[in-house]
A and B are shown apart, each in its own frame.
Chain A
């Protein structure tokens, strides 16, 4: 028997098994069969969230360090009454706003130049510089910044060699913002690129031939047309920043806690899983409300699977 015929017999076998397991009359339901594994997999997340919701409704019994049996909203009230949690929440939201602003400010020119450049070499350089950090991960990148900006880091060693005093470049709010902007940049560029590609260069030429300088062309033609990409990138950067854990921990050194750190600490430092779960629910609620609000303001479909496929 030739290899080809072995393959055919094998395919026939597979075909008949498939027909027994999934008869022709079910053909109309094939879509559901295909989607089922993904639905089940994501279902794990929903079950876990269900557990968390349940945990959040039980207060900690400080006598036994277990959650009380009785249901209550005590954890949520505790969150609302403690100024420390509101401060952390505000700090996180401010950081998310700043990071979104700076990331978009840098990502848009990057995407624009990458799409518009005539040189294939420049385009490749920009693409590789984008994918390399994207594929390296947050912890390793933060480690790189520690080497550069740390107390005994490269910048400070150079300063000492030049006879200058050292600077506190890490373990502060600015370092966390900077690290996050660098972390978010590839995400933002990749989300903005399709929108920029969709803008015909003729549009810009038309605006310029009518006497608009490039800044006015950008303001009135390019930016409005790229809006879907900018909004999509903005949402992703904002929500990812709001929920980030590694950068505030590594570059903030525990001095600038974000909500994610507060959740972690409630679970693992205070052993108060009820409070941690309640904080998690608050975080999910704020994130969902923001995304819903943006969708409502800008029209749905900004982030839908079909329109934003990379």
Chain B
């Protein structure tokens, strides 16, 4: 497979996953803020902080009102991680590899992009937010389905999987981080009714509520961390994502899953092993935020090494 094509497939898939994740972020906050609004306790800035774009945000908007944050994270073309920017990028990448992906995948991305763009161009979006973010999430999931059902499960598909699961692992950890930011000012709230509401909302935003209930029953913060970070079978759990990404990486190179033949395999393998051999109580003891922060740094290194190993035109030349 052409390096440039592999690069574009990987990023198409990452951007679609990212758009979906941003929609999840906002949806969980909308949900939480509805319950918290009576307490006058709406918090929108943490959302921007967790996407890592706070400097850019403050530069453009200043005040972190609900409206500003939603605009910035959803439709702002100046924010490279807004939903619309992600779709522009996904579409641009997909357009450059139309001959390698299925017609259904391209059509889906094109429609997805047009849907978000049209809503962004229209007035009065703030009235229909929950529906809109649900539509974004559905479209993101449909893309996964269309890809799975129409693209040959060969090298290109594995690059798609690799991009998706790395992105999902990153964003899942960030969603947990939102919780950390919200709770930080008042650790004494742990275990209160507000707290329960928030954890439930968080599970819902990760489409994990029902599955969590089946696994653990009662909502206990440590179990939520366990489920979203360390579950082997839940498809949005970080460990599961790392495992699937690792499988695809080895499928691409054809190397033994137990070992490594290049830098990305080494880095991802180590990271996955640590997750496989840690527990929720370990993570909380280390500090959830610190743990996630370290995880994200190492995940970035995995991404970087994938770029230099497979996509860099110089490397192959």
Do A and B belong to a common assembly? Answer: no
Q: Which residues of B contact A (CB under 8 A)?
A: none
Q: Which residues of A contact B (CB under 8 A)?
A: none
